[in-house]
Structure 1
């Protein structure tokens, strides 16, 4: 397996396929780099170098007890970008990975970045606060913590239903997609995955978004049951100067899988545009 070792000794697994302009992917919780396979093969076959890593505590990367923090996630990504000498990159982040990309740009700038894509991403802030009344109440995230603690295997399988909108009328349910989600989640470390819940729910990315100075696509399903569009993409698109907002009618949180053909075409068009 391909890995790098970060400054604090954490091993980060990554895959690096193809040649050409690099497209760097950051996955959502509780998944792995494998969540991007449909996009990586599609772009790799069209002349792009595609790179994705497993976040610390997730997948095939190390499972440290400490350091499971959004700043560290972004710094791990920076170490990977530096060690692979990635330049002129298109950074693509889904859900928590969208937060990771946002914090990366906030902390490390865009000297290696050509464009950014935030898909179903958690910024600017998921948690409901006095200043963010459209967010989700803390009880929602406490419920996620309780579910993961009590029986994370069952929780991850159950989570696939709202994640892919399999509870909507006429939904075409794929047990294979559900099993893949479950497997990716179960590959992660219990402690790191628990820590990450606070990171994706309570991190405020407002100031990071204001530092974006590259063309940015903000894509979101308007029926996203995990990261509601009103408190995320609609606000982020106002904070990122000159960004493009793409709304998928009826789109789920997992539309990169359930609407892969449509999203892939839009992603390619944005990269080429």
Structure 2
């Protein structure tokens, strides 16, 4: 299986792990800002995403976590700032859970708008809005509308043009192969990993995210031993797109501090 990535710039490496159906090309404005600031930027596509291969096998979070670990090892990356958006944040948590010593390579972590547990239940109400044990499989097959796009602020026109130009689009994404990954992502529970994160962590969310409650993002930041929360007031699920200048500024500040 071939995993494809872009490796640009020099200096401390910053690795971007994207969300379900998203891909490395979405982080173009972060690449520009970080390379200009003297950092090395690695943006990769998960299996079945973007330019990477589309195998039938390995459509589960544990395999994506191993993919991430193998990428870090193959490039022999050290002192990594790992940035995970949406599912990419939980791929990062899975990597922290599986790797023998993840802190040997990763020294700072940024998690963008992702709950460590998507399914709500008696012991957890900060998962994805409206998703329960009873309907999670129907949600993964899109048998009902479980996301409220009306909450999501509009992207700047030129940002939306870029997102719309990236293939595969939502309409052409290979759900037939990636469905098992989405199900595994939705039913996984990474809460036990969060208090064991041994590096400084920045948790980012948008005030208007259609997916998660602010209290859950605050739990994430407060449960990490060295965590902090940042709320983007004019964004939903994608503050790195909606408010990319401020996002980049905060990311650069966080990296410089750690």
Structures share fold, TM-score greater than 0.5: yes
The separation in 2 between residues aligned to 1:30 and 1:213, in whole angstroms, is 29
Residue from 262, 268, 272 that aligns with 2:246: 262
The separation in 2 between residues aligned to 1:127 and 1:92, in whole angstroms, is 23
Change (3 A) 1:192 1:131: farther
Deviation at 1:173, TM superposition (A): 5.2
Structure 2: unaligned runs, 5 residues or longer:
none
Change (3 A) 1:55 1:227: farther
- Residues 120 and 221, structure 1, Cα contact 8 Å, conserved in 2: yes
Higher helix share: 1
> Which residue in the other structure is 1:5 paired with?
none
Cα RMSD after superposing both structures: 2.5
Structure 1: unaligned runs, 5 residues or longer:
1-9, 149-154
SS at 1:24 equivalent? strand
Residue from 136, 142, 154 that aligns with 2:138: 142
- Residues 56 and 63, structure 1, Cα contact 8 Å, conserved in 2: yes
The separation in 2 between residues aligned to 1:15 and 1:254, in whole angstroms, is 21
The separation in 1 between residues aligned to 2:9 and 2:172, in whole angstroms, is 26
> Which residue in the other structure is 1:190 paired with?
175
Residue from 122, 125, 134 that aligns with 1:133: 125
Structure 1, residues 101-153: CA drift from partner, whole Å, max 9, x if none? 11112222211011110111232x111122213333243662452369xxxxx
> Which residue in the other structure is 1:236 paired with?
220
- Residues 126 and 201, structure 1, Cα contact 8 Å, conserved in 2: yes
User: Normalising by the residue count of structure 1, what TM-score does the alignment of the two structures yield?
Assistant: 0.82
The separation in 2 between residues aligned to 1:163 and 1:40, in whole angstroms, is 28
Change (3 A) 1:163 1:27: farther
- Residues 31 and 181, structure 1, Cα contact 8 Å, conserved in 2: no
Deviation at 1:238, TM superposition (A): 2.4
Query: Aligned residue pairs: how many?
Result: 249
- Residues 119 and 136, structure 2, Cα contact 8 Å, conserved in 1: no
User: Normalising by the residue count of structure 2, what TM-score does the alignment of the two structures yield?
Assistant: 0.87
> Which residue in the other structure is 1:60 paired with?
51
